[in-house]
Amino acid sequence: MNKRLGKRSIRVLAVDPGTRGFGYAIFEGPVRLVDWGTKDIRKNKEHVALVRIEELLRRFEPDVLVVEDCAHVSSRRNRKFTLLIGRMLAMARALGVEGRALPLALVYRHFAKNGARNKQEIASTLAQRFAALALRLPPKRKPWQSEDSRMSIFDAAALAITYLRRRDGRAGRSSIPR
Residue 81's Cβ-side half-sphere holds a number of Cα atoms within 13 Å equal to 17
Q: What is the mean pLDDT of residues 58-79?
A: 84
Secondary element (H or E) of residue 26:
strand 21-28
Mean of pLDDT over the chain: 88
> Length of the chain in residues, anyone?
178
User: Could you tell me what percent of the chain has a pLDDT over 90?
Assistant: 69
Q: Residue 178 pLDDT > 70, yes or no?
A: no
Q: What is the mean pLDDT of residues 137-150?
A: 90
Q: What is the mean pLDDT of residues 85-107?
A: 95
Please state the pTM of the whole predicted model: 0.88
Give me the pLDDT at residue 72, please.
64
Q: Residue 59 pLDDT > 50, yes or no?
A: yes
Give me the pLDDT at residue 73, please.
66
pLDDT band at 138 (very low <50, low <70, confident <90, very high): very high
Q: CB neighbours of 176 closer than 8 A, spacing ≥ 6?
A: 111, 114, 125, 129, 161, 165
